[in-house]
Amino acid sequence: MAINKPSYLNFDHEHYAWKPEIDYRLHPLEYRVGKGEQGVLICEPYKSEIGQHWRFKTPEIAMDSSAKIFLLFEDYLAANDFVGADMARKYLQMGYTRARRYANYQGGKKYNADDNYTQLQRGTGDPEKAAAARIFYDKWKAAEANPLYAQLKKQWKHERG
């Protein structure tokens, strides 16, 4: 049986589509939608604008955080800034996935780096994070269901990838 190791161990930075030296507001055509949350921790200036609001420690904090990020999502759409809207959507998705990680695994750690990255026992995490995850999930799905966003995303992926 193959050991399921984290994907970041052999990450290929050179061929990654998103680059930290690019200002994606000035050069939006360099942006790629990608899969899931790809590029979310790299693409400036959006990383700095949105990331400062991204928190999920408690359901209350997650409610405030997701609401602020969703407002940014709507503001980016209103400004016809698809890249910003997509980045905000990615932060909402990441709020869900990271909170779920902490709900599933104690301390949010899925792999034991000291034991050849064996997967740790699931179900040992923080139940409060499950509630935080649900809050982010609802906002993430609301963003994806926005008709303007859905149209812009489909068009962007067709034209640019």
- Looking at residue 11, its pLDDT comes to 65
pLDDT tens for the 161 residues of the chain, in order? 455 766 666 666 677 788 999 999 999 999 999 888 988 999 999 999 999 999 999 999 999 999 999 999 999 999 999 999 999 999 999 999 999 988 888 777 777 777 777 776 777 667 889 999 999 999 999 999 999 999 999 999 999 87
CA torsion through residues 67, 73, 78, 84, sign: positive
Which tens digits make up the pLDDT trace of 94-138? 999 999 988 888 777 777 777 777 776 777 667 889 999 999 999
Query: Domain spans of the chain?
Result: 44-110+117-159
Q: Are 18 and 37 in contact (CB under 8 A)?
A: no
pLDDT of residue 53: 98
